[in-house]
Structure 1
């Protein structure tokens, strides 16, 4: 009997140790939680650096009760795939373009409207407003909410060798866009052929001629290496679509009130830090891209603005969207 009880005690102790070693998404280890945060950008991208700061502050502000492990470079899948994992509980957090959230909430489509923001100051004023905080909550019934934003710069067209100086220059060209109905419609109205595909496939698609060009900010030329195959960047700056950090509603609800506050503070600090390093990153990207042989072209934006006006008429048929557009415009 003594041997039996001793064996049972040893077995119980072993089970406790093994259980304590578990450390997965939302899992607990020694009283702490480790969350998974996945995104599709590289380690040296300003957004990843900001997310690293976010993770550091979460650990510090929660006294190690919650930690965040980052999976960059799309190792866990594309934006769409990671959002699906977020909903299933396999991932706790992600960073995606607001354009990728359109299919979950119509309110997010406003960010993809071309020329909705008239300046960088206007953009930041809107992104810090209650209007955007309400949009963050619009996906609650889909299983996740927004936490903060990161500047993703002004998006422009870049091609292998053809400058896009007017909408006419887009005719006959296949342009990679995000899987966003608004981005697709924008390129159609401007005269191009929109081709949705994941960010990680752009380089090969440009190289093999699957697409003639793409649209993004200058960092895509460097951190994404697109400048190795795309040599003409036309600064028409049609959109300023923010990146949004989102968190699973289940994960959020599993945090204590103090931990939620820590997350909000860490997210706000990460956004401020990103703002500090973003402008320099853009300047550095332009210089590096020029060294790669990329030529930058100034563009008259008015013809592009005129081409997309039908989008505003269509969007304003929805009273809720029309209200958001009017509120954004009033902040300029």
Structure 2
């Protein structure tokens, strides 16, 4: 992770609090900017014993236990309070236990980073129609399918090539959250932001189950308390961060356009229904619709 984003801040808050409440008896060495490897390597490393902790997108974890992929489904959540409620359900606790059993990684927390939206080079005639557009997406099956269901053609190219791809017309735009899109200066080549909120990016703070189980009861409790503190801070700072980068984009001349969320949600519903049925998540789905 980069050392200037909300995930890094979360880890630093956790590390500092853990050192404080343990009186320095339990500390965490934080390595940023992919020094120890990419997300997949780090998550696998907890099972191999090469790293003790990691923070990773839940989409990475889904390859070990697919039901957690429900978090990446389009329009599954209504708002941030709804997200917090569903993350605390018994079903999500069960999913985290299954992830631990399948991967050897214990999930300490799952947190929503930001909604993903679409930014385009040209303004749309109809804010709800993305037909015929080529949109850059990460190499994620869920996001590829989501953009397809919204009517556009997904183009899974590396993020480092997105700027040039939009600039040269290879794609019409891309999707992502304000912080990330600002970091790659996408506002220089695309000025039309569409509030599709088609997906939420979630990350998980993880610890090797073997490492956690080797700790004393007091040490485990310190970790839990430090996580609780860090997550409380995360929600506060995430709101501020999102607003900060939105303001930055507006200052760069980006125009923000509203869309009809219910219409887009209906387009994506078949994909969600299929995933829910395939993974036995009917109970969680019903809770999500309340």
Match for 2:257 among 269, 293, 297? 297
Specify whether residues 79 and 227 from structure 1 end up closer, same or farther in structure 2 by C-alpha distance, changes over 3 A only. Answer: farther
Moved more, 221-230 or 245-254: 221-230
**Cα drift, residue 165 of structure 1:** 5.5
Match for 2:159 among 191, 198, 202? 202
Match for 2:219 among 241, 259, 264? 259
Q: Deviations over 1:190-232 (max 9, x none)?
A: 23333446xxx41433224565433222111334544344432
TM-score by length of 2: 0.88
Verify: 1:143 aligned to 2:108, yes or no: no
Q: Deviations over 1:54-80 (max 9, x none)?
A: 001122223323211222233333322
Conserved in 2, the CA contact under 8 Å of 1:166 and 1:304? no
Equivalent-residue separation in structure 1 for 2:155 and 2:44 (angstroms):
22
Specify whether residues 313 and 249 from structure 1 end up closer, same or farther in structure 2 by C-alpha distance, changes over 3 A only. Answer: same
Equivalent-residue separation in structure 2 for 1:194 and 1:76 (angstroms):
31
Aligned length, in residue pairs: 286
Match for 1:110 among 66, 70, 90? 70
**Cα drift, residue 159 of structure 1:** 3.2
Verify: 1:278 aligned to 2:235, yes or no: no
- Using CA pairs under 8 Å that are at least 6 residues apart, name the structure with larger relative contact order, 1 or 2: 2
Verify: 1:154 aligned to 2:115, yes or no: yes
Specify whether residues 245 and 298 from structure 1 end up closer, same or farther in structure 2 by C-alpha distance, changes over 3 A only. Answer: same
CA RMSD of aligned residues (A): 2.4
Equivalent-residue separation in structure 1 for 2:125 and 2:65 (angstroms):
32
Equivalent-residue separation in structure 2 for 1:317 and 1:299 (angstroms):
29
1:316: which partner in 2?
Answer: 276
TM-score by length of 1: 0.77
Unpaired stretches in structure 2, ≥5 consecutive residues: none
* Equivalence map 1:2-21=2 (5 Å): none
Specify whether residues 83 and 171 from structure 1 end up closer, same or farther in structure 2 by C-alpha distance, changes over 3 A only. Answer: farther
Conserved in 1, the CA contact under 8 Å of 2:47 and 2:104? yes
The structure that has the greater radius of gyration is: 1
1:17: which partner in 2?
Answer: none
Equivalent-residue separation in structure 2 for 1:321 and 1:75 (angstroms):
37
Match for 2:90 among 107, 130, 145? 130
**Cα drift, residue 285 of structure 1:** 0.7
Q: Deviations over 1:78-115 (max 9, x none)?
A: 32232233332222222122222221112211111111
Question: Does the residue aligned with 2:27 lie in a helix, a strand or coil?
Answer: strand
Conserved in 1, the CA contact under 8 Å of 2:36 and 2:42? yes
